[in-house]
């Protein structure tokens, strides 16, 4: 089928999503619907004092769809993001910039790759100047971010260059990364120079940056305002609470783009299929993955600005490492049918290598003899008072897996990524064990499921704010309820008491009026 523009969601008599309505082909039936509108939903582009209804790069905005979602009772908010000017590659003088080579590593984003590609495209680094800042300050009266034209909240961690100049007046310069848009194309992206200043001002501003004095702008930067859902409208499976069968993913859920959007698309896609098959939803916990942290933050706390996931948002980040991502998630992916059998076999081999090597190291005894003392002196660590194990030696800060080679003559040949996991797990074993205990305690709270139809207004002991917030979020567990803003430890105790009393009355067949109203 040719491209069609979705203008609404078709809702069945039972209130569930039954398809989409398109401008070109009318109604298209579907067992589940996923919306991933990016910044197109009600999109409005700003360049200086000019603005027009549009999606990114001049494409049509999804205006009717936004109105349709609002008519379904879904709450919307307005966010803003922006982009940098694009320049022609052959008009840039890279001799005035700093070369930024990509790092070639023996391991990659996927464990199937066994390393990053050596044929990476070069990037370059340059900086804004005092002249750049002078141009920006002189034209703030023409910047829609400062005239009041733009009302949506922008991303805190990716501000426009005019915002950086205003908020950090003492900074003499800001980084500008020159990045090829594609491998073989002629367009470069000016990372760090996001702006919505008028095109003539952008021209002057770009030419004030070393290396860009003669740069030809092929597309000016712009800001874009767009509609997105208030993410507390969603369940942890990314299904909307008010319209069953309707899933949303990406910037429509109040996040920034790239990794955040891609990860939500994966989870929404999985759960849409599970919904169609009548199966339980797939939910990653905060201790499983950063995707779990991202989605839990969104649906439990909401966000007042484009949300960006960062390591600091995860309380279990010692366990959420890049080196153990497959150990945490491959088994789950295999059960869902997303991991091929041959890849699963690779994973099993890697996991077996890690487990065997850790067992070997913690059981291999090292004598406190002269040869060991010489090796330890070479490493720069204290001598042994008595015999110990290789695992205990590896726990010392100054000792590495490789430095133990002279006294570890039985070591097998292992891939670098396997050695990395083994070394981290043994070196930080005490901290990791403590975090696993924390995760286990948290899981016990997550296992305390709250009945979905509880009437929070009937629970004695809850504060008014807790009743309002819990009624809005409708957490699925005590653990999630404890993370809801405005819910205190005293409220959690009251909620636990209610659930225990309810369980007791369910067992004995006794239900009082308040509990009967709960479901």
Q: What is the mean pLDDT of residues 386-412?
A: 92
From CA 89, how far away is CA 485, in angstroms rounded?
A: 48
Which of 87-91, 136-140, 204-208, 402-406 has the lowest average pLDDT?
Answer: 402-406
Residue 426 confidence (pLDDT): 96
**Is residue 487 pLDDT above 70, yes or no?**
yes
| Burial class (CB within 10 angstroms; exposed 0-12, middle 13-18, buried 19+) of 392 | middle
Distances (CA, A) of 204 to 89, 187, 197, 228, 395: 18, 19, 11, 34, 56
Per-residue pLDDT band for 26 (boundaries 50, 70, 90) equals very high
pTM: 0.91
More reliable by pLDDT, 84 or 4: 84
In this structure, are residues 179 and 194 in contact, taking their beta carbons and an 8 Å threshold? no
Phi/psi of residue 397, nearest 5 degrees:
-60, -40
**Is residue 518 pLDDT above 70, yes or no?**
no
Please name the residue ranges forming H helices in 11-108: 63-71
Q: What is the mean pLDDT of residues 497-509?
A: 80
Residue 513 confidence (pLDDT): 42
CATH numbers and ranges of domains, the chain: 6-82+226-273 (3.50.50.60), 86-220 (2.40.30.260), 341-440 (1.10.10.1800), 448-516 (1.10.150.570)
Q: Which residue has the tokens 């890849």?
A: 343
What's the mean per-residue pLDDT of the chain?
A: 93
**Is residue 43 pLDDT above 70, yes or no?**
yes
Give the rounded distance of the alpha carbon of 138 from its chain centre: 37
Phi/psi of residue 286, nearest 5 degrees:
-60, -25
From CA 97, how far away is CA 41, in angstroms rounded?
A: 38
- Residue 8 forms beta bridges with which residues? 21
* 90-143 pLDDT tens trace: 999 999 999 999 988 887 777 777 788 888 899 999 999 999 999 999 999 999
Residue 519 confidence (pLDDT): 57
């Amino acid at each position: 089928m040719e491209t069609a523009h979705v203008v609404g969601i078709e809702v069945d008599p039972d209130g569930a999503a039954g398809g989409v309505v398109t401008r070109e082909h009318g109604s298209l039936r579907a067992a589940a619907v996923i919306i991933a509108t990016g910044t197109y939903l009600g999109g409005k582009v700003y360049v200086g004092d000019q603005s027009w209804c549009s999606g990114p790069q001049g494409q049509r905005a999804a205006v009717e769809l936004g109105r349709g979602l609002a008519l379904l009772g879904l709450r919307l908010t307005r966010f803003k993001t922006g982009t940098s000017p694009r320049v022609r590659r052959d008009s840039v003088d890279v001799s005035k910039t700093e070369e930024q080579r990509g790092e070639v590593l023996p391991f990659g984003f996927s464990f199937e790759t066994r390393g990053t590609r050596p044929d990476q495209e070069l990037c370059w680094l340059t900086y804004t100047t005092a002249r750049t800042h002078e141009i920006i300050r002189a034209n703030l009266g023409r910047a829609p971010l400062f005239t009041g034209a733009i009302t949506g909240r922008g991303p805190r961690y990716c501000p426009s260059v005019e915002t950086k100049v205003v908020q950090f007046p003492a900074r003499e310069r800001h980084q500008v990364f020159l990045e090829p848009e594609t491998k073989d194309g002629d367009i470069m992206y000016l990372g760090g120079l996001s702006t919505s200043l008028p095109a003539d001002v952008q021209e002057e501003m770009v030419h004030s940056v070393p290396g860009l004095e003669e740069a030809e702008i092929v597309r000016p930067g712009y800001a874009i305002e767009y509609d997105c859902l208030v993410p507390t409208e969603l369940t942890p499976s990314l299904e909307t609470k008010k319209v069953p069968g309707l899933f949303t993913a990406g910037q429509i859920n109040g996040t920034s783009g790239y990794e955040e959007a891609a990860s939500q698309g994966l989870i929404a896609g999985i759960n849409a299929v599970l919904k169609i098959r009548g199966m339980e939803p797939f939910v990653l916990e905060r201790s499983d993955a950063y995707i779990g942290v991202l989605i839990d933050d969104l649906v439990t706390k909401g966000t007042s600005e484009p949300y960006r996931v960062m390591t600091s948002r995860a309380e279990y980040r010692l366990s959420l490492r890049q080196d153990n991502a497959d150990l945490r998630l491959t088994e789950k992916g295999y059960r869902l049918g997303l991991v091929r059998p041959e890849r699963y076999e690779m994973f099993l081999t890697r996991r077996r290598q890690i487990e065997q090597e850790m067992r070997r190291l913690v059981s291999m005894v090292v004598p406190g003899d002269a040869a060991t003392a010489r090796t330890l002196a070479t490493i720069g660590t204290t001598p042994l008072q008595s015999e110990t194990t290789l695992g205990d030696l590896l726990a010392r800060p100054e000792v590495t897996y490789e430095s133990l080679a002279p006294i570890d003559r039985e070591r097998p040949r292992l891939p670098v990524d396997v050695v990395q996991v083994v070394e981290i797990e043994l070196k930080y074993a005490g901290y990791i064990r403590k975090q696993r205990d924390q995760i286990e305690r948290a899981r016990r709270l997550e296992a305390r499921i709250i009945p979905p139809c509880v009437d929070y207004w009937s629970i004695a002991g809850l504060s008014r704010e807790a009743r309002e917030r819990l009624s809005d979020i409708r957490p699925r567990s005590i653990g999630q309820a404890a993370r809801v803003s405005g819910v205190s430890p005293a409220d959690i105790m009251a909620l636990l008491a209610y659930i225990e009393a309810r369980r007791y009355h369910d067992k004995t067949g006794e239900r009082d009026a308040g509990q009967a109203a709960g479901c």
